[in-house]
Amino acid sequence: FASSPLPESRISTAPRVVAIVGGGFCGTVLAIRLLRMNADRPLRIIIVEPRAELGAGVAYATRDYPYPLNVAAGQMSLDPANPGDFLEFACGQGIHADAVDYLPRQVYGEYLRARLAAARAAAPGVEFVHRQARALRLQRATHRTGWELWLDDGRALRADDVVLALGNPPPAPLPGRGAVRANGALVEDPWSLGQTSTRDLHSVLLL
């Protein structure tokens, strides 16, 4: 998606509609950028995301195990001009952390939502909509420019631009897993380590 302001020729007409499929990190950060770039211009942003919370996605959702970020807090800012932004947010939430600390991933999800809320409040010219649904089909609009996006709640959206921010798919099934799965030793979802926290583990095999 081009990171340039909307053309002046579009300002006097109907708002430009940008549909973002996926409300995880990429979809949320794109929305923040659009809100900041076009704060006073007529624009409609629609995020299609089945989760109630934006910004979490697979990577930053609340889990049953405190997964840490794989980058230190001092290097996780959304704003290159303010590299300490994430760390300042965390400290403002009562978290005692330094720039070299690796904080829980869910804290970063909270950070994304806070910055999205701030960007929305500072963009009076932009309409922001969260459709809590899944996208089923995308096609070129008939007899007009733009796109038609069909959702699993029965609605169809028309948009000038569509961004697919789909994230990572779930892990593919492993061949020959039947015997291991039967005795409960197989953890198929790497984001569910909390299920093994009460086990007396002597060895772990990573595939």
Residue with tokens 């595939």: 207
Tens of pLDDT along the chain (207 residues) come to 444 454 444 444 689 999 999 999 999 999 999 999 988 889 999 999 999 999 988 889 888 778 899 999 999 999 989 999 999 999 999 999 999 999 999 999 999 999 999 999 999 999 999 999 999 999 998 877 899 999 999 999 999 999 999 988 877 877 877 777 777 777 777 777 766 666 777 888 887
Contacts 24+ apart (CB under 8 A), 84-90: 85/115, 86/111, 89/114, 89/115
Q: CA–CA separation, 97 vs 100, rounded Å?
A: 8
Is residue 147 within 8 Å of residue 139, measured between CB atoms? yes
Nearest CA among 162, 169, 63, 57 for reference residue 113: 57
* Cβ pair 20, 46 in contact under 8 A: yes
